[in-house]
Amino acid sequence: MTPFLVIRQSSDYPVYVERGALDRVGEAVRPRGRVFVITSHALRERFGMRVARSFRDAEILTIEEGEANKTLATANDVVTQLLDRGARRDAMAVVVGGGMLGDTAGFAASIYLRGIDLVHVPTTLLAQVDSSIGGKLAVNHEKGKNLIGSFYPPRAVVSDLEVLDTLPPRERLSGLYEALKGGVIGDPLLFERFEGDAFDLDAVVRAAIRVKAEIVSADEREADLRRLLNYGHTIAHGIEAALHYEGLTHGEAVAWGMIGANAIAVRRGLLARDEAARIERAIRKYEPSPLPKLDRRDILAATEHDKKNTGTARVMVFPRKVGECVVVSDVTEDEIAYGIDAIL
Ligand SMILES: NC(=O)c1ccc[n+]([C@@H]2O[C@H](COP(=O)([O-])OP(=O)(O)OC[C@H]3O[C@@H](n4cnc5c(N)ncnc54)[C@H](O)[C@@H]3O)[C@@H](O)[C@H]2O)c1
């Protein structure tokens, strides 16, 4: 297989994007020792076995899925299973699944014997365009999401576009909004794909991977540029926390968060009203679940814990136009309240 692109980080790694790639993972990567395919019970037969068969002698481990299981305990379960099977430093972990599996089993691989080779085989749209790209891994702590983790570039990412055919509609939508976000922050043509009538998912996935790959290649450890990826996320995190992570997918929360951020950007004079309306039209076209009845104060309070806030300054990302965003670090609480009111 030929890589679609190569991500330049502390170690470079190729991203393969092809239909039918599941059966060719073993061709794309070169293991040094034993291969452990790590997946869930639900995905084992459909995807895990195919990936395992693409290697000569891969073994399969399974863990529990679900955001509630994205914990140190589950990562420890992976470590225990690897120890039980006698995996050595030269072992390779090939993680097959969505972002939950990628984060949890990936994190386990990053700490097992101080780190073994890791390959991501993302099977959700969100994992293909977002979580598998960039080398960030994290599990949740009872005090908050994604508080324990590492920066750990994989050896490769192998995305099979065919697996997206079986994705439940809301999981698909969740990834779609992260891809649309990529268009607003860095690729007007990608954005236009969401406006047009003939929607080409394969092309959207490729373009969205490209936007994220360019950003994380220039900024591996979230210094500055990478903050652009947080467009829509300040208010989204507030919504998700206020909803106790139920009712809306992450991508849908980001969809509402983008509309809220745009309202602030218009008020600041950064974004033309027409352009904001254009972005909102594209977002609504894919029909995000309606925002449940929430108290503005609950959303606002939850945005306080946003990881992007350094000290007391409130950092947000605003579009200037489709394809160009800026990071602004003096956003007031009042402004965020205004953005929240715009969507409630
Ligand atoms: N590390 C990062 O940079 C990063 C970035 C964004 C998100 N994330 C994390 O990703 C997680 C969300 O990932 P997700 O949206 O992929 O959800 P998920 O991993 O929880 O998967 C959602 C569901 O889809 C099912 N599924 C997976 N592939 C399928 C397929 N092809 N067909 C049918 N069903 C399939 C799974 O079994 C699961 O039930 C969150 O924990 C989030 O924090 C991480």
The CATH number covering residue 244 comes to: 1.20.1090.10
Task: Give yes or no: residues 120 and 29 share one domain.
Answer: yes
For residues 237 and 200, give the distance between their C-alpha atoms in angstroms, rounded to a whole number. Answer: 29
- DSSP-derived pairing of the beta strands 156-160 and 13-18: parallel
More confident residue, 116 or 301: 116
**pLDDT greater than 90 at residue 302:** no
What mean pLDDT is predicted for residues 273-294? 97
Residue 287 backbone class (left: φ over 0; alpha: ψ -120 to 50; beta: rest): left
Task: Give yes or no: residues 328 and 190 share one domain.
Answer: yes
**pLDDT greater than 90 at residue 226:** yes
Mean residue pLDDT across the chain: 95
pLDDT at 126: 98
pLDDT per residue as tens digits for the range 165-200: 999 999 999 999 999 999 999 999 999 999 999 999
What mean pLDDT is predicted for residues 252-267? 98
For residues 193 and 196, give the distance between their C-alpha atoms in angstroms, rounded to a whole number. Answer: 5
What mean pLDDT is predicted for residues 306-321? 76
Nearest alpha-carbon partner for 94 in 20, 182, 33, 165: 33
pLDDT at 304: 75
Strands of the sheet containing 156-160, edge to edge, are 5-7, 13-18, 156-160, 117-122, 92-97, 35-40, 58-63
Do 239 and 248 touch, CB atoms closer than 8 A?
A: yes
Do 131 and 102 touch, CB atoms closer than 8 A?
A: yes
**pLDDT greater than 90 at residue 92:** yes
pLDDT at 57: 85
Task: Give yes or no: residues 193 and 131 share one domain.
Answer: no
CATH number of the structural domain spanning residue 45:
3.40.50.1970
Confidence band (pLDDT; 50, 70, 90) for 312? low
* Token couple for 246: 């139920």
Do 37 and 180 touch, CB atoms closer than 8 A?
A: no
What mean pLDDT is predicted for residues 125-150? 96
Q: Is 178 a catalytic residue?
A: yes
Task: Give yes or no: residues 35 and 119 share one domain.
Answer: yes
* Residue of 69, 155, 193, 230 marked active site: 230
**pLDDT greater than 70 at residue 58:** yes
Do 260 and 300 touch, CB atoms closer than 8 A?
A: no
* DSSP at 23: G
What mean pLDDT is predicted for residues 242-248? 93
Q: Quote the ligand 1 centre to 103 CA distance (angstroms).
A: 9
* Token couple for 90: 């030269």
**pLDDT greater than 90 at residue 110:** yes
Q: Quote the ligand 1 centre to 273 CA distance (angstroms).
A: 34
Task: Give yes or no: residues 326 and 185 share one domain.
Answer: yes
pLDDT at 222: 82
Confidence band (pLDDT; 50, 70, 90) for 306? low
Pocket test for ligand 1, best of 38, 45, 67, 131 (most atoms within 8 A of CB): 131
What mean pLDDT is predicted for residues 141-150? 94
What mean pLDDT is predicted for residues 319-332? 96
Nearest alpha-carbon partner for 282 in 198, 180, 206, 203: 180
End of a domain among 132, 149, 166?
A: 166
Q: Domain range holding 271?
A: 169-343
Q: How many structural domains compose the chain? A: 2
For residues 160 and 43, give the distance between their C-alpha atoms in angstroms, rounded to a whole number. Answer: 14
For residues 129 and 204, give the distance between their C-alpha atoms in angstroms, rounded to a whole number. Answer: 9
Confidence band (pLDDT; 50, 70, 90) for 223? confident
342 φ/ψ angles, rounded to the nearest 5 degrees = -65, -20
**pLDDT greater than 80 at residue 69:** yes
pLDDT at 83: 98
* Atom from ligand 1 closest to the CA of residue 164: 31
Task: Give yes or no: residues 74 and 186 share one domain.
Answer: no
Nearest alpha-carbon partner for 133 in 159, 109, 110, 107: 159
Q: Is 120 a catalytic residue?
A: no
pLDDT per residue as tens digits for the range 246-257: 999 999 999 999
Helices (DSSP H) in 63-140: which residue ranges? 72-84, 99-111, 125-126
Tell me the whole-structure pTM to 2 decimals.
0.96
**pLDDT greater than 70 at residue 308:** no
Q: Which residues pair with 7 in a beta bridge?
A: 13
The reply to whether ligand 1 has any atom less than 6 angstroms from the CB of 149 is no
Task: Give yes or no: residues 230 and 156 share one domain.
Answer: no
Task: Give yes or no: residues 160 and 175 share one domain.
Answer: no
What mean pLDDT is predicted for residues 259-272? 98
What mean pLDDT is predicted for residues 35-52? 98
Do 309 and 256 touch, CB atoms closer than 8 A?
A: no
Do 15 and 8 touch, CB atoms closer than 8 A?
A: no
pLDDT at 243: 95
Burial class of residue 211 (count of CB atoms within 10 Å of its CB; 0-12, 13-18, 19+) = buried
**pLDDT greater than 70 at residue 137:** yes
